[in-house]
Structure 1
Amino acid sequence: MTAVPPSSSNVMDYLGFAYAGTVALGGVMGFVKAGSVPSLAAGLAMGGLMALGAQRASNNPHDVYLALGVSATLLGLMGSKFLKGGKFMPAGLVAGMSLVMTARYAYRLLA
């Protein structure tokens, strides 16, 4: 796949970047509150991948594969954690945001 240079018809994926920041911040908060190094590593890794996906979607509105993969992965992981534990924070919140983002990117892929 070739990269499409930004143009006036491309729109920055602000929602994708906000989601990426929220995921990364969640990992930092898990580390600060509970000392969870895995939370920090996973949050920063997934947030970074999501930011890359949002950048790619900003440059080419049809290049949503990475963003879709990250949001679907988080939906599966955090959705499962929410169903097992029943706690809304943080698993339910991230699962809900991931559901919205997965649907958004799937729509963009199919449209």
Structure 2
Amino acid sequence: MALETIAFILGALTAGGGTMGYVKTGSLPSVAAGWTVGILYGLGGYRLQSRQSYGIEFALLASIVLGGASIPRALRSGKPVPTVLSLISIFGLLVFGNAYRKTL
């Protein structure tokens, strides 16, 4: 699967998850964080698709931000939402981190 496709899927998942968090609980931080990370993934995917610079870096940044926010929460609470977000971020870190490593 192409890197841009992965970035678009992860962006849709995080933005959709943030929206669902808002709909279920009325949490503005959930929608803001979900859309911010989703936009970073989407921007990375767009730049990769357009063969512009920094596409991998934007997607990797989104994975770092998502992991930094969700992994500690998943370890503390063990709840399903932070755990799934942590798995998404780890997947993104592996995919985009490996792609970034290949560019060095």
- TM-score scaled by length of structure 2: 0.87
| Identity within the alignment, % | 29
Report which stretch shifted further, 41-50 or 13-22. Answer: 41-50
Deviation, structure 1 residue 42: 1.3
Structure (1 or 2) with the greater helix fraction = 2
Q: Is there any run of 5+ residues in structure 1 with no aligned partner, and where? A: 1-10
2:90 partner amino acid:
L
Q: Deviations over 1:34-86 (max 9, x none)?
A: 11111111111211121001111223387311110111111121001100111
Name structure 2 gaps, 5 residues minimum: none
Runs (4 or more) in structure 1 with deviation over 4 Å come to none
Superposed, 1:9-88 pairs within 5 Å as 13-60=4-51, 63=54, 64-87=56-79
RMSD over equivalenced CA pairs, Å: 1.7
Query: Size of the alignment, in residue pairs?
Result: 100
Q: Larger radius of gyration, structure 1 or 2?
A: 1
Q: Contact 2:4 / 2:44 at 8 angstroms: preserved in 1? A: no
